[in-house]
Amino acid sequence: MNDDWILDVLADLRVFVEKKGMHATADILTDACLLAAADLQVGRTRWQKELMDLDDSGAGKISGTHPAC
Choose among 46, 49, 17, 21: nearest CA to 32: 17
At 58 the pLDDT is 52
pLDDT of residue 59: 52
Question: pLDDT (tens digit, 0 to 9) for every residue of the chain, 69 residues total?
Answer: 488 899 999 999 999 999 999 999 999 999 999 999 999 988 777 777 776 776 555 554 555 555 554
* Residue 18 counted as domain residue: no
Report whether 17 contacts 29 (CB < 8 A): yes
What DSSP state is assigned to residue 67? T
The answer to whether residue 37 sits within a structural domain is: yes
pLDDT of res. 42: 87
Check residue 18 and give its pLDDT. Answer: 97
Please give the pLDDT value at position 32.
Answer: 95
**Residue 52 forms part of a structural domain:** yes
Q: How many domains does the chain have?
A: 1
For residue 21, being part of any structural domain is answered with no
